[in-house]
Amino acid sequence: MDLLNTLVDKGLRRELPTREEALAVLATSDDDVLDVVAAAGKVRRQWFGRRVKLNYLVNLKSGLCPEDCSYCSQRLGSSTGILKYSWLKPDEASKAAAAGLAGGAKRVCLVASGRGPTDRDVDRVAGTIKAIKEQNEGVEVCACLGLLSDGQAERLREAGADAYNHNLNTSEGTYGEITTTHTYADRVDTVNKAHAAGLSACSGLIAGMGETDEDLVDVVFSLRELDPDSVPVNFLIPVEGTPLAKEWNLTPQRCLRILAMVRFVCPDVEVRIAGGREVHLRTMQPLALHLANSIFLGDYLTTEGQAGQADLEMIADAGFVVEGADEVTLPEHRAEAAGSVCGSHADAGCGSHADAGCGSGCGSHGGVAATATEPRTDLVAVRRRGAGTDLAPNA
């Protein structure tokens, strides 16, 4: 297929595809999906070999969020029945992080619900970062605390944070349909603040609400322009009690096409399969490793993920290897550019509110929405173990 040959050549040269080429990837048929995976896999192997980076989420504060994001189980007025608790103490967070690190993770992502941190919250997270780093030599720490105010990114950097995550989630044109309590511009501003402070920026998207191909390409091209080191790709987990609980618009094949499109647009960036891979990719998860070079290990923030041991077995069975703590994630040209700012750990980004999705009205902006798939509500379970509980995590 001429399209795929062209995209492979561009990916190996780090050249941006055209919008038409990106849209054409999403428009390929299920009959061609293995060809698409094989082509994008060549680009993935060029820049990341067969390594898979493992990341582990620690939910520092669950629920109780004043924002009204339609996809989120922690949103204002949520009736999802998720775990709700205030800030974990530093030793509690460090204990939770240790479970993921013992399972093979090299990066810990510290996430807290809310619009954004107060200065007191930043101090609290700084203490948690210190505790984790003192007890786990060489660990990378990413913070995901919402919208940042002036000076907060610098304080997190000084406290030892390596990265900051804040996702764009969807296109600028549809953003107002997911939330009314902050804007797309607010999110872009926070990513830029992280960049300016010398943190490794991480920003991604959420797919699965019937959004158009144009919306997906818009947000991925916007991410390319922001130039984060890491792009997490979330697939909506339709949690009962959220406005998007009935949105089941993804098939495994569409998920693979989305990941391939992201890889072609962002060839040398860490692409992470984040929330929803177990729900939507299901038995096709190993194929997705040919596209993405990073995953989360075990559970997510408020929902259950695949068991950590199953993740490790999947990686090995698919012929990939877990990235070691002493290995640099990003290709040399990116790592060198980041190294002057973030030191030896400036090679990746973090995850997201990884049980999230996009806006319910995305399908009204032209293009063709994905065909709805049979709801797999049996695969959606609220997290009842790990951080905020007395039960062992699923790492």
The CA–CA distances, whole Å, from 208 to 10, 89, 168 equal 27, 35, 15
Chain position carrying tokens 């939770």: 96
Q: Which of 202, 350, 358, 362 is catalytic?
A: 202
Instruction: Write down the catalytic residue from 75, 107, 142, 362.
Output: 142
Question: Is 272 noted as a catalytic residue in this protein?
Answer: yes
**Is position 350 annotated as part of the catalytic site?**
no
Selecting among 65, 144, 255, 266, the annotated active-site residue is 65
Which of 69, 342, 350, 358 is the catalytic position?
A: 69
| Cα end-to-end span (Å), the chain | 41
Beta pairing partners, 202 = 165, 230
User: Quick one: DSSP state of residue 389?
Assistant: S
What residue spans of the chain are helical by DSSP H?
2-12, 19-26, 33-48, 90-102, 119-135, 152-158, 184-196, 213-226, 252-265, 277-280, 285-288, 308-317, 332-342
- Of 158, 131, 126, the closest CA to residue 145 belongs to 126
Among 231, 216, 357, smallest CA distance to 294 is for 231
Q: Which of 72, 255, 266, 342 is catalytic?
A: 72
Helix axes 19-26, 252-265, angle to 10 degrees: 160
Query: Of these residues, 75, 107, 109, 157, which one is catalytic?
Result: 109
358 is catalytic: no
Q: Could you give the count of Cα atoms lying within 13 Å of 387 in the half-sphere of its Cβ?
A: 37
Residue 73's SS3 state is coil
Percent helix, percent strand, percent coil in the chain, to nearest 5 = 40, 15, 45
CB contact burial 114-135 (16+ within 10 A = b; e otherwise): bebbeeebbebbbebbebbbee
3-class secondary structure, 56: strand
What residues act catalytically? 65, 69, 72, 109, 142, 202, 272
